[in-house]
Amino acid sequence: MASSIVVGFDGSPCALAALDKAAELARLDGSQVVIVFAFEIPAAYGGETGDYRRAVREIAEKSAAQAAERVAKAGVDYEVDLAPERPVEGLVHASERHDASMIVVGTHGEHPLAGAILGSVPHKLLHVSPVPVLVVPAARD
């Protein structure tokens, strides 16, 4: 069985750069790309929460479908994993489920101080991931 590369995807420019890098790396060794859209859904407290949950799930499905199309066009085998968890936990759990050789994520445009205070997904992954983490910046125009 070929190894897999987990890529965190949320539709942002940084996530697209990470997706492209994951596909590029997967082509080199025949790995499968596992596209992970992790999203935290609050506990259900009434009808509005249900509407919110459906809307978030729909966004996740549409974004993942766009990512899957992009990876397929690159000629790489893929799988989609929608993870209703916080992003860091979702990516780590997906890496364990899919026996991933690495996790690839994009940077975000947040200010470095905000990232240091609040914590960013890439930063947290570097501390908790059981596999190597590759952080990819968005392409500069």
- Residue 141 included in any domain: no
Domain hosting residue 15, numbered range? 4-136
- Map the chain to HEC letters: CCCEEEEECCCCHHHHHHHHHHHHHHHHHCCEEEEEEECCCCCCCCHHHHHHHHHHHHHHHHHHHHHHHHHHHCCCCEEEEEECCCHHHHHHHHHHHCCEEEEEEECCCCCHHHHHHHCCHHHHHHHHCCCCEEEECCCCC
pTM of the model: 0.87
- Residue 62 included in any domain: yes
Mean pLDDT of the chain, nearest integer: 87
* CATH number of the structural domain spanning residue 19: 3.40.50.620
pLDDT, tens digit (0-9, with 9 covering 90-100), for 73-106: 999 999 999 998 999 999 999 999 999 999 999 9
pLDDT, tens digit (0-9, with 9 covering 90-100), for 47-65: 666 777 788 889 999 999 9
User: How many structural domains is the chain composed of?
Assistant: 1
